[in-house]
């Protein structure tokens, strides 16, 4: 009975969430906007970057993931690590050692980065006593769904031991970035990711629980942590693209009804036809100067453009919408675009620093240019 009731409750919750999702947020059309998030650390004029060896038993796994993700971003020109002779000669603590400067300069890079990786994976084993139903060998008469009397076995709830394993893992990458022009370390830091998941036990028979049989290998856990750490390392030193989901405003009450011209504009925007959408929303404002939804949607269009001038225009539109109608997601939009403006200003500053840097001598013998 316990297990059956639990499943019924779980299914009911899922259906309730789906119904609420259809009735409320599903009424609002949404769009995904791509934004540039600046590097957390301003690394100056480094354009070409050599990825050196990462120390530690799992260092090369992290370095490989880090290199791959940097290549996807296409911000730096990367030195192919498999062709860099300095990889086996320069370790984490030696990156600024003058003795290794000549071999590093032969890479024809603006900067080099290396790291030291530590990791651990441990399993905690135990047993949960889980309520389960079992037959008693006794029966009673009950009507089935067809209204007929049938014999139904009487069940009882018993506690049975079910083994579990809690997988705990941690991976930390310390990094150093060295500017070969200034002969200085320009960035240091560390990135950590942890893992803590229970498999089996009372999770074994729960609706969304992880079965003991799905416990990953320890190597798989390390690989998973490595990819997450590599992603964080990239965001430390390189601008990255992030996707933000933003809803439109149809106007009307509770998302229903609203202006037909407004709705056509939203349809254009969701298909990527932003200029057509803007014209329609501006047309709405000419006829309805106090239509808050039109100002808000125009703000979304400007925010989608992403450049600094457009972001300031989006902020102005969001404020006008908020002055006309007090909606929580208008206020959220103002806060969001304020952060986007700060990020864009920082990104533009980082970009200007890189553009001022002198071009490196072209030497394709040991480098792969990624752009």
Yes or no: say if 141 and 150 are a contact pair by the CB < 8 Å rule. Answer: yes
How far apart (Å, rounded) are the C-alpha atoms in residues 292 and 289? Answer: 8
Question: In residues, how long is the chain?
Answer: 371
Contacts of 12 (CB under 8 A, 6+ apart): none
CA neighbor of 109 nearest in space, from 349, 298, 367, 371: 367
In sequence order, what are the residues at sequence separation of 6 or more whose Cβ sits closer than 8 angstroms to the Cβ of residue 169? 119, 120, 121, 122, 194, 195, 196, 218, 221, 222, 225
d(CA 260, CA 243): 29
Which pair of tokens denotes residue 47? 């354009």
Q: Would you state the pLDDT for residue 191? A: 97
What CA–CA distance (Å, rounded) separates 250 from 263? 6
- Buried-state track 299-310, b at ≥16 Cβ within 10 A, e below 16: bbbbbbebeeeb
How do the pLDDT tens digits run along the chain, 371 residues long? 433 444 444 445 555 444 444 444 445 799 999 999 999 998 988 999 999 989 999 999 999 999 999 999 888 999 876 665 555 667 788 888 888 888 888 888 999 999 999 999 999 999 999 998 888 889 999 988 898 999 998 899 989 999 999 999 999 999 999 999 999 999 999 999 999 999 999 988 888 889 999 999 999 999 999 999 999 999 999 999 999 999 999 886 544 446 899 999 999 999 999 999 999 999 999 999 999 999 999 999 999 999 999 999 999 999 999 999 999 999 999 999 999 999 999 999 988 887 765 555 544 444 433 32
Which residue ranges form the domains of the chain, and what is each CATH number?
Answer: 34-119+171-240 (3.40.50), 247-355 (1.25.40.10)
Q: Do the beta carbons of residue 111 and residue 50 sit within 8 Å? A: yes
> How many other β-carbons are positioned within 10 Å of the β-carbon of residue 298?
24
pLDDT of residue 87: 59
250: phi then psi, degrees, rounded to nearest 5: -75, -15
Q: Which two tokens stand for residue 1?
A: 């009975």
């Amino acid at each position: 009975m316990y297990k059956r009731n639990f499943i019924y409750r779980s299914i009911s919750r899922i259906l309730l969430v789906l119904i609420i999702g259809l009735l409320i947020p599903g009424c609002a059309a949404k769009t995904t906007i791509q934004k540039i998030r600046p590097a957390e650390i301003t690394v100056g004029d480094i354009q070409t970057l050599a990825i050196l060896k990462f120390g530690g038993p799992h260092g090369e796994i992290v370095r490989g993931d880090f290199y791959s993700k940097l290549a996807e971003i296409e911000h730096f020109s990367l030195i192919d690590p498999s062709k860099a002779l300095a990889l086996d000669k320069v370790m984490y603590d030696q990156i600024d050692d003058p003795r290794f400067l000549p071999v590093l300069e032969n890479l024809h890079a603006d900067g080099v980065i290396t790291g030291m990786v530590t990791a651990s994976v441990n399993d905690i084993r135990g047993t949960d006593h889980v309520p389960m139903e079992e037959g008693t060998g006794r029966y009673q008469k009950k009507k089935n769904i067809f209204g007929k009397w049938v014999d139904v076995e009487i069940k009882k709830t018993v506690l049975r031991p079910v083994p579990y394993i809690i997988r705990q893992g941690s991976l930390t990458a310390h990094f150093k970035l060295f500017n070969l022009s200034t002969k200085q370390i320009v960035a240091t830091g560390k990135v950590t990711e942890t893992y803590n998941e229970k498999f089996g036990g009372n999770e074994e028979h729960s609706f969304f629980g992880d079965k003991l049989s799905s416990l990953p290998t320890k190597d798989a856990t390390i690989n998973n942590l490595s990819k997450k750490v590599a992603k964080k390392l990239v965001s430390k030193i390189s601008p990255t693209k992030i996707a933000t989901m933003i809803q439109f405003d149809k106007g009307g009450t509770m998302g229903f009804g609203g202006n037909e011209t407004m709705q056509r504009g939203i349809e254009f925007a969701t298909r990527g036809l932003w200029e057509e959408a803007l014209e329609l929303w501006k047309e709405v404002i000419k006829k309805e100067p106090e239509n808050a939804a039109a100002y808000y949607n125009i703000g979304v269009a400007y925010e989608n453009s992403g450049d600094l001038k457009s972001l300031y225009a989006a902020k102005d539109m969001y404020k006008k919408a908020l002055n006309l109608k007090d909606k929580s997601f208008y206020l959220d939009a103002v806060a969001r675009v304020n952060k986007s403006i700060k990020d864009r200003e920082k990104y533009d500053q980082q970009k200007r620093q890189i553009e001022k840097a002198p071009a490196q001598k072209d030497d394709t013998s040991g480098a792969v240019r990624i752009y």
